[in-house]
Amino acid sequence: MQLDEKLMLQMYRDMVLARTFDKRVEQLHARGLVPGSVFSGIGEEATFVGACRAVSHEDYMVSSHRGYAQDLTKGLDSKLLLAELLGKATGCCGGRAGQYARADASSNNLGVHQVLGDGFSVAVGAALAQKRLNTGRMVLAFFGDGTSNHGTFHESMNLSALWLLPVVWVCDNNLYAMSTRFDKASAVENVADRACAYNMPGVVVDGNDVMAVYQTVSEARQRAVAGKGPSLIECKTYRHRGHSGFDKRRYRPQEEIDAWLKRDPIVRFESVLGERGILDDKLVGEIAGAARECVDEAEEFALSSPAPPPEACLELIYCPSGVN
């Protein structure tokens, strides 16, 4: 597959930024500066970055809770994201949403849904609106292997295929729904195997290969915007950390973790780019430095930002009730 060098380097930068950001969030959480929990996306950057780069800025995204690569790659400013996670007034949602419900209209990110499965129907609706309004835009919808067992999965897969909606369903199958292994939760081996029940393409892809994810989602996007309907793409990947910041991670065998660490998506992509002569140690250092600088700035911004006044909780419950 031929991808241009610029795009490949961009995706590498995105992955490095996402991991740097994720690690910083872990540190801030450990210091007690992030209210609630955090859901690390470390190890899954190729899936999130590859899919987000395969769609346009105008396309909508329904994001999932895991990690921050989706938000950042779709175009959310790292300062506004980190401030949001810290519950600050300057956050993209004014500190109301945090990990649990963050969204960003400026990058057409419809947000995270804290009750798993809600994102399916929101994506169906957004895709329906794009189709009816003839906008040429599509919806990229992320969900995990755990959420794939939710009843809404069936309703939404069926409706999206029935109405040939412009949506691409991307499942990051990291093998575990919190501690529950996918093979303990699903009667079929692959989420993508279910696609045939909805008369839509189902594809299993190496979720730690950013170029493979990019290519697969790009093709699915073309299909979606051409009016040919949705696709179900399952990216096999692994989360290096626990489910949340509080997870003791006792349920996974060490050999399994070690095997997946050897398939680290960033390390793999570095060697691909190195072999192609696109990336050398100097550039690796530069990109890492730029990511660190970006996250440093975000941290400084977030830490120095004010918290919203508590009484702001009474604002924005309703839109101004002007008649439209």
List 9, 10, 77, 158, residue binding another protein (CB under 8 A): 158
SS3 category, 52 = helix
Determine which residue in the list 83, 122, 170, 211 makes contact with another protein, applying CB under 8 A: 122
The per-residue DSSP string of 91-150 comes to STTTTSSHHHH--BGGGTEEE--SSTTHHHHHHHHHHHHHHHHT----EEEEEETTGGGS
Q: Is 124 in the site for another protein (CB under 8 A)?
A: yes
Of 84 and 299, nearer to another protein (C-beta) is 84
Tell me the angle at which helices 265-275 and 210-225 cross, rounded to the nearest 10 degrees.
Answer: 90
Among 7, 30, 162, 267, indicate the residue that binds another protein (CB under 8 A): 162
Only one of the segments 5-13, 18-26, 150-158, 268-276 lies at the binding site for another protein (rule: CB under 8 A); that segment is 150-158
- List Cα–Cα distances, 295 to 16, 103, 112, 298, in angstroms: 11, 19, 22, 5
Specify the residue, 61 or 191, whose C-beta has the smaller distance to another protein: 61
Helices 45-53 and 265-275: crossing angle in degrees, nearest 10, is 60
Residues 6+ apart with CB under 8 A from 54: 140, 213, 214, 215, 216, 217, 218, 221
Task: Please identify, using beta-carbon distances, which residue of 115 and 178 lies nearer to another protein.
Answer: 115
Least distance between another protein and beta carbon 179 (Å): 24
Asked if residue 70 lies in contact with residue 119, where contact means CB atoms within 8 angstroms, the answer is no
At residue 78, what are phi and psi to the nearest 5 degrees?
-65, -30
Q: What is the token pair recorded at 320?
A: 């101004």
When the beta carbons of 135 and 215 are compared against another protein, the nearer one is 135
What interhelical angle do 210-225 and 45-53 show, nearest 10? 40
CB of 152 to another protein, least distance (A): 6
Burial class (CB in 10 A: 0-12, 13-18, 19+), 129: middle
Q: How far apart are CA 186 and CA 78, in angstroms?
A: 36
Closer residue to another protein, CB minimum distance, 159 or 213: 159
- Under rule CB under 8 A, which residues in 31-90 are in contact with another protein? 60, 62
Q: Which is nearer to another protein, 187 or 323 (CB)?
A: 323
Q: Does 307 bind another protein (CB under 8 A)?
A: no
For another protein, give the closer residue by CB, 109 or 174. Answer: 109
Among 121, 179, 180, 215, binds another protein (CB under 8 A): 121
Contact with another protein (CB under 8 A): which of 126, 170, 225, 298?
126
Q: 175: which 2 tokens?
A: 């093998």
By beta-carbon proximity to another protein, the closer residue of 132 and 276 is 132
Site membership for another protein, residue 321 (CB under 8 A): yes
* Contact call for residue 120 and another protein (CB under 8 A): yes
Site string for another protein, 100-119 (x = CB under 8 A): -x-xxx----xx-xxx-xx-
Contact pick of 123, 177, 195, 204 for another protein (by CB under 8 A): 123
For residues 68 and 18, is the Cβ–Cβ distance under 8 A? yes
The footprint of another protein (CB under 8 A) covers 60, 62, 91-94, 96-97, 101, 103-105, 110-111, 113-115, 117-118, 120-130, 132-133, 135, 151-152, 155-156, 158-159, 162, 316-324
